[in-house]
Amino acid sequence: MTDNNTPLNETTQIEEKAPSSNTAEAADSEDHQTAQNETVDAGTIPPEADEGDKDTPDQSDTAQANVNPHSFNPETDATADNVLKDPSSILALANKTYSLPAPYVPNDLVEPNVDFPFTEQLPKRLLRQVAASALEELFAAAEADGIELFAISGYRSYDRQEAIFASNVTRYGSEEKANTVSAYPGESEHQTGLAMDVSAASVGNALVEELGEKPEGIWLEENAHRFGFIIRYQKDTQAITEYQYEPWHLRYVGKEPALAMFEQDITLEEYLGVYPPE
C-alpha cells in the first residue's frame, strides 16, 4: 500500500526503472496494448422518451436523447486541428479524432492509496485527485466483496506516450500498425490523469482480454459505474471507439455520467453526442 494521496508532480525527478520481467511492471502498456506489447517505458441523465410514443428507439436515438446536457461541440470545444480547448474537463474526449494539448499536465496529480504490483515510485502511479479518491473507494468495495485488484498504469505524459509510440513504430514497422496497439501522443486517455489500467493475479496482473472473463473483470463490469468509472473500451464497440476490447481500462467520468452510460449501454462518444457522426 502507498501513502494516501501523496502528491507527485510530473516534473518530480523520478527515475523510471526498467521493469522486472516477472512482475506486472511489464504491463505499463499504452492505452491500447496488452502487457506483452510493452517495449518502452475527461444526476443520472434520465431517459426522456416521449410517453406518447411507445415505439422502442434504437440505441443511437436513445443516446441522443440523453447526451444533450453534456454534448460535445467540436466548433466550440476544440480547435480547428481538433485539439481540446479544456483538457481538464472530467469528460475530456481523447481519442483518434480529438487530442490533448502536448503541454497539458494535470495540476492535481496524486497517488491513490491502492495496491500496485511494483514498488518503484513512477508517474504511472498517479491520478487526478478526484479519480484517485474514487479509485480508493472502488478498490475498498472490491476487497469487501472478496475481489483483489491491482493498479497497473495511470497517468502518462505526452512525452512518455511519444516514446512508447515510437518504440511500437519500430517494432511493428509502420505508424498505422503501431496505432492498432497504442495511441498517438496526445490521443492517450492516460494523459488526462483520469484513466487507470487495473488487473488481477488471476491473469498474472497482465493487461489481457481474459480479465473480462475472470471474477475480477466481471465485478468491474458490474460495479465500476458506482464509483464514477466506465470500462472505456467495451466489447463490440470498436466501430465507435476505434480500439479493441480492454476490460482493464478504467476511465473516470463522474458518477452520474457513468451510471447513465452503464444503464444505456453506450460509449463515451455516444454519450457526448459525437457518434454517430452527423
Chain segment 180-205, per-residue pLDDT in tens: 888 999 999 999 999 999 999 999 99
Counting Cβ atoms within 10 Å, is residue 42 exposed (0-12), middle (13-18) or buried (19+)?
A: buried
Residues 6+ apart with CB under 8 A from 269: 93, 95, 240, 241, 275
User: 186 with 99: CB under 8 angstroms?
Assistant: yes
C-alpha to C-alpha distance for 187 and 23, rounded to whole angstroms: 27
What pLDDT sits at residue 278? 65
What dotted CATH number matches 23-44+57-271? 3.30.1380.10
**Percent of the residues in the chain that have a pLDDT greater than 90, as a whole number:** 71
Whether 246 is catalytic: yes
* pLDDT band per the 50, 70, 90 thresholds, residue 245: very high
Q: Answer whether residue 117 shows pLDDT above 70.
A: yes
Per the prediction, the chain carries an average pLDDT of 83
Tens digits of per-residue pLDDT, 147-181? 999 999 999 999 999 999 999 999 999 999 998 88
Name which of 27-41, 161-175, 237-251 the model is least confident about. Answer: 27-41
Of 189, 246, 269, 270, the active-site residue reads: 246
- Residue 101 preceded by cis peptide, ω within 30: no
